[in-house]
Amino acid sequence: MAASVRVMPNAAKRASSLLRTIQYTHPPSCPCHSNPGYHRRAPTPLSHTQNRGGRRYATPSNADLKEYAFEMAASSIRFGAGATQEVGMDLQNLGSKRVCVVTDQTVNQLDAMRQVRESLDREGINYKVYSDVRIEPKDSSIKDAIAWARPYEPDAFLAVGGGSVMDTAKLMNLYSSYPDADFLDFVNAPLGKGRPIDKPLRPLIAVPTTAGTGSETTGTAIFDLVSKRAKTGVAHRNLKPTLGICDPLNTRTMPAAVKASSGLDVLCHSLESWTAIPYTERTPRPTNPILRPAYQGANPISDIFSLNALKSTIKYLPRAVKDPEDFEAQSEMLLAATLAGVGFGNAGVHLCHGMSYPISGQNPGYKHAGYDIPNPLIPHGVSVAVSAPAVFRFTAPSNPERHLIAAEAFGVDISNAKAESAGEILAEALIKFLQDLGDQPNGLKDLGFGSEHIDALVEGTIPQARVLKLAPSLSTELQTEKEQLRALFENAMSY
């Protein structure tokens, strides 16, 4: 018998909920206020042979020390219906004289941009609009946007749109601040040089119009690197927006398919950051704090945001998709996206996202229903969620308790669940959620992939070192890692 999902009934009790989460997840009996079975090394159900080469249980050496600290960073967030009207005053308060407004052609015609223009005009802000952002941006579209911004020389940026818009604006800001930089200088290694952002950028205000990416809180920007047939990006805490204005009025116009895909991104952000390796197991320890990555592994603060975002998504996403007039559900999903952004923006994501990049980048020609665009498209949330059941079957042995807590959030009664069944229990809960949500592929085969594509998908996943290093139980030995990824793609073909 499935138990009901235990989510606090309203926002007024959210603080109490967070405190209870801290008590439950990080009991006071632990001297470090962390789960002794997770954030500190603990006995594992895996045998020594099974565990050999796994990332989570690596043995430290003088040359490869484990991390000992984590660092929290997030944008300032303003949340409230109608808050978009304040953006002109914000830019006035910043002393901005030349503002670059970044959006896409669809959002440029919607109420969010109307409110932005009215607010900027009311405050006498000088601005120009760049509206040619590509949905699921490629390196070429990013370069076009940078080329547009550099000669304009804005002193502030304002992004109005979904994750593609916010990520494009971040990179326009970055490369305008480093006019002599080569494009690959800041791109994540090994595809790029992974150069750290060593100075503050210009102010960037982000106004999300979708409830999914959490990009308004993070220092991450993602795009397709076409020559490598892989998604990559730039990740550094100095890239994050100065302010995120989360206005539920701006998400009302999302089509149901976009709400579903965006919400599935929130779901996987939450699950992956909740189950990522603990920060104390990540290597190498940085030689300088500026080299500490944005994605650091699960930690006691990110856990609070991730688990609460997971519970809210499970409760409100089905309602938001099925009823466009359910303003409470739309608002709670926008809040969940922001909470998850803080969680994964500091803990990181792992296999679902790492595998999603070649899935979307190597699209055989699939076009998701409900997206009004001319090109084939596997929406990001769809590409992430399609592998989730296979992924969490694989990661569960690293920490069964975490995976069972996640299953309980879906309404599963875990009172008599066995640790060795945690992966299957969570996978079944995910499958049921996806099927009940509706209009979702039942595996990679529904996207047009077959066994002949698996080797290319594996090769497209391997370069995602930034997220793969946070995956529990994934081998550090290349050939074994490839075999594990191949098995995961095979298991994700159908469910």
Residue 424 has pLDDT above 50, yes or no: yes
Read off the pLDDT band of 10 (50, 70, 90). Answer: low
Q: 11-70+256-491 belongs to which homologous superfamily?
A: Dehydroquinate synthase-like - alpha domain (1.20.1090.10)
240 has pLDDT over 90: yes
Q: What are phi and psi of 55, to 5 degrees?
A: -65, -40
- Model confidence over 247-262: pLDDT tens digits? 999 999 889 999 999 9
Number of residues assigned to the chain: 495
Section 42-53 average pLDDT: 37
Using CA atoms, how far apart are residues 371 and 359, in angstroms rounded to an integer?
18
- String of b and e for 469-490 (b: at least 16 CB within 10 Å)? bbbbbbbeeeeebbebbbebbe
Q: What is the pLDDT of residues 346-355, one digit of tens each?
A: 999 999 999 9
SS3 content of the chain, % helix, strand, coil (to 5): 50, 10, 40
As a whole number of angstroms, the distance between CA 29 and CA 60 comes to 27
How high does pLDDT run on average in the chain?
A: 88
pLDDT band at 129 (very low <50, low <70, confident <90, very high): very high
pLDDT higher than threshold 60 for residue 12: no
Distance CA 394, CA 378 (A): 24
Quick check: 53 and 476 in contact, CB under 8 A? yes
Burial class (CB in 10 A: 0-12, 13-18, 19+), 41: middle
pLDDT band for 60, please (50, 70, 90 cuts): very low
pLDDT over 70 (residue 133):
yes
pLDDT given at position 190: 87
- For residue 369, the model assigns a pLDDT of 87
Query: What is the model's pLDDT at position 189?
Result: 87
Q: Which of the four CATH numbers 3.40.50.300, 3.40.1310.30, 3.40.50.1970, 3.40.1640.10 does domain 82-246 have?
A: 3.40.50.1970
- Find the mean pLDDT for residues 195-202: 94
pLDDT higher at 335 or 12: 335
| 8 Å CB contact between 208 and 116 | no
Return the pLDDT at 55.
44
> In the structure, what pLDDT confidence band is assigned to residue 48 with cuts at 50, 70 and 90?
very low
| 59, amino acid identity | T
d(C-alpha 168, C-alpha 103), whole Å: 9
Domain locations in the chain as residue ranges: 11-70+256-491, 82-246
Per the CB < 8 A criterion, the answer to whether 157 and 243 are in contact is no
* Per-residue model confidence (pLDDT) at position 436: 97
Say whether pLDDT at 9 is over 50: no
* CA count, 13 A, side-chain hemisphere, 355: 34
pLDDT at 364: 95
Say if residues 178 and 195 touch (Cβ distance below 8 Å).
no
pLDDT exceeds cutoff 70 at 100: yes
Residue 374: the pLDDT is 82
pLDDT band, residue 43 (cuts 50/70/90): very low
For position 58, what pLDDT does the model report?
Answer: 40
**Residue 107: band (very low, low, confident or very high) from pLDDT cuts 50, 70, 90:** very high
